[in-house]
Chains A and B, each alone.
Chain A
Amino acid sequence: MLELHSLTIHEIRDMLRAGQICSKDILDSVYSRIEALDDKIGAYLTLTKEEAYEAAAIIDKKIAEGEKLGDLAGIPMAIKDNISTKGVKTTCASKMLENYVPPFDAHAYEKLKEAGAILIGKTNLDEFAMGSSTENSAFKITRNPWDLERVPGGSSGGSAAAVASDEAYFALGSDTGGSIRQPASLCGVVGFKPTYGAVSRYGLVAFGSSFDQIGPFTKDVEDCAILLNHLYGHDKKDSTSLNVEFGDFTEALNKDIKGMRIGLPEEYFGEGIDPEVKKLVLDGVKVLEGLGAHVEEISLPYSKYALPVYYIAASAEASSNLARYDGVRYGYRAKDYSSLEELYVNSRSEGFGEEVKLRIMLGTYTLSSGYYDAYYNKALKVRRLIKQEFEEAFEKYDVLISPTSPTTAFKIGERTDDQLAMYMSDICTVPINIAGIPAISVPCGLSKGLPVGMQIMSKSLGEASIIKVAHAFEQNTNFTKKKPTL
């Protein structure tokens, strides 16, 4: 019982079904873990204990009465604090929304709730998901469970750290340029960024609308497949939501990968990539090769332009998406103002943090009169080239593999003053969002005691190939089983 918190979704689900534990036990396990550790880790911004126990009581009653249970019945979940939860504060880790309580649920959260999952709390992030270290939170920093002096990555650092420290069985994050995969990599858990449009964005507080996707953090690949089954699906409230049949992703588990074609884009193993990270990823690839996959090096020359495209286009969208925080209908309103103009300027200047303001200004600049063609329009053109290049590659390869993050977790404060170094954290993950394709990060070893993640990408809607390869890898290695000592 003591180690309940360390189990996966499929493990506790089986125990619950078998009547070995009840829903309340599961909550007890995770909340006692949070109480024991979260002062150190700082994964959570809000806990929803009361509501969670109410929900658990209902499920336990259902079990007692022999009623049919949802697939995720009684499974606790942590949700990044930029995903709307009705009646529960959704702060985006910003002073701007410190007291904001959404009047509706995000579609993704609603679906998981329908399947029986129980919200246990909202996790920390870089303010409005802008950052790669969770240091930009207005409220607290989150520490990497593998080394408390280091960052968990970002922006979904709270979600990644919660799962890595067994303070959650799974968590939801959002990924605009790597915000799920990079912290998953740095914290040694599985993180998935879906095909653009596969998971509804309704209720996700927008950062870069054409890049944003909600996705899961899990302890293993099987859990990831289980969650994708629930998260994926058409939503009429999101016009960019894909209206296709996704199938059952758990069918891609335990499959032979013999003959699968794997490409290694050389640009993702070059300059700026820590040699040990590179080695561990290539070792992982060797495992797959040993299982019968064909591996080839390829080149994706446009990938090096992904980061500039991202910083122009995502910032431009953000400048518009974040304009609504004006102190009028909700959110922070400055105490001192003597005119409408001051109400706007003071509320926004006081309510937003430095990085958010910088990106808003950057985005405003690239859209402003006289600069649109030089920046924004150009970025959209290069975006097409990057997407096309991926499409061509996927005509030859089932999946591409690269490191998720160029380095392991860095020290807290190490990159806060070096804008570009911080931005470079996303160099391997950003191209995926540019192209709108799916990718996973799976643990592939430890470098100096810190986790390294391997990124597996596929064409749009090629999730099954990713799950297949990732699961085969996991089954033939023991990296996802490794836990930090806490």
Chain B
Amino acid sequence: MMKNLSIEWLKLKSYRTFWWLMGLFILCLIGSNYITYQLKIATSSQSHGTLDILMGSPFEFPDVWQTVSYVSSYVLFLPGFLMVILITNEYNFRTHRQNIIDGMRRSAFALTKILVAVLLSVFAAVLVFAITVLTGLIAGSSFSLTGSVYLLYFFLQALTYTLGGLLLGTLLKKSGLSIALYLIYIGFIKNLLALLLDKYAGGIGSYTPVKSSDELIPMPFFKAVTHSLITPPDTTWLLILTLIYLAGFYWLTLYRYKTQDL
């Protein structure tokens, strides 16, 4: 597998779009957290601390784990988007068949792409860890691992976005269509589906693909208010379904690549 990963690196290291998207991702992660942090400070000082009672201390340990994970999750469409591009590129260039012709196993090809998705997710989680620790310390609190389970949830969410993107690209093959459908699902269909299912199917909207991993990290602001207004979905079920969906993405990508005509 290390050999196949080094082959993947040969493809990536000279691919400018890869570096641009990685740069943008890092910038957006830092930027979105920085802006939220500044907003919190601004609202706190404007309200002379009265809003703090409602908002809590989202940037201090232990809440900072949830806050940074939550804010960062909005940028996760970028690594997912990158995965869609990486797999549909192979179809566009027809290198997905050349790699096999040259002697790579079909399963190895698919597993290498899956591994890239996992590594991107690990990278995202490491960055979020660093931002969390830094923000928590800057906010004046002392380090604590309490609440760090949200980092694990963030990692699962990152896996959902990257493996989901990979599966979509594997199934559709065409880059334009895959990118469009990916963005539309993340930004629109996912929420519409959840809304409809919540309304007409007994509140199961939170348990749909991608949505269930999103819901693992609830909104950290105004906790006191939101808790009294809505019943949050069951975390255990969200976790189970997220894992089932992930296993499904993994298995379908592998199965599809092993059985399809290239």
Tell whether A pairs with B: no
List chain A positions with a Cβ less than 8 A from chain B.
none
